[in-house]
Structure 1
Amino acid sequence: MSSQGFELPLRLLLAFRMLIDELHAELARQGHPHMRPMHGFVMQAIGPDGTTAVELGRTLGVSKQAAGKTVEALERVGYVERAADPRDTRRKIVRLTAYGIDALNRSARIFDTLRARWADELGEERLLALESDLRKMTPASPWRLDIPGWFGTL
C-alpha cells in the first residue's frame, strides 16, 4: 500500500490527538475537568521548583504576557499559585499546587494505561518497534515544551 507524503504528519497528529483527547476525558472523570491540552506543557515547564512568568514564556516560546494570561487561567482553576521568590522578593514565582501535581501524576498513570491499550491492539513488539523508529527519527529528548509557541496558541 502506497501513501502520499502528507499522510505521515497527519497520521502522527491524529494519533497524538486521540491520545490527548482520551487523556483529558479520563482526567475529567478523575476530578480534573478544567485541564486543557496546553496546560500539560505549561505545568511541565513550571516544574517542581516553580518559575517566573518571564522564564515560563521563554521556555514555552511565547511572550511574557501570553505566559501571564495562561498562569492566570491555571491559577483560577487551582493548578498553580504565585508567591514571592525567596531569593528575590521583587519577583513572583509560579508554583504548582497539590491539585496541579495531582493532575500531572494522574496524567502519567493514564498515559501508561493508554500505552497498554495500544500494546494490546498492536502487540507489544510492534509498539516497541514503532517507538524505537520514532526515537530514530526525532531529537533525543522528547521534552520540547515550546510547542505552545510553535502552535501559536498561547
Structure 2
Amino acid sequence: MPSLPPSDAGLDARLRLIVSSYRQLTGKPLIADAPADMTALRDAMWHVPRAIVAHGTEDDPIFFYGNRLALQLFEMSFEEFARLPSRLSAEPLAQEARVKLLEKVSLQGYVDGYSGMRIAKSGRRFMIADTTVWNLVDEQGNHQGQAAVFVAQG
C-alpha cells in the first residue's frame, strides 16, 4: 500500500492549485467539503475513491502528484511516480490520442468524459474512464501544468 508523501510546502501549494483550478474551471468541487486545513486536505485527496494525478510544465512533463489509488493502479511508490514523464503512463500506441487530448485541454481549460488505456509499471494495461483533465492555473493566470481525476475499469 503506497504511503502518503511527507508534508512539503511546495507540494502542498500544488495540491491547493489542483483543487482550486478544478473548481474554477468546472464549477464543481474536486473533493466534497474540501477541508481548509492543509493536513486534512492532503489526507482527503490521498484517500478519495478516484485516482488523481498531476504533471508540471516541463518540456517532457513529469508527474508531481499521484494519490493512493493512482499509485496502486500504476504500481509505483510516490517517489517513483514523481519522476515519471506523464507520456509514459500511456501505451506507445495511445500516445497520439493522449497528445490530442492534452492539446484540447490546453485550449478549452478542461475536458470531461475521456477514457483511454494506461499502463502500469509491470506492463499491466488498465482502462481509465469518466476522466476529467484540466489545466492548473495559478492566481496570476499562469499555466502550471495539468491534472486528471478518473476511475479505472477492469
Which structure has more relative contact order (CA 8 Å, sep 6+)? It is: 1
Max Rg structure:
1
Higher helix share: 1
TM more than 0.5: no
TM-score computed with the length of structure 1 as normaliser = 0.27
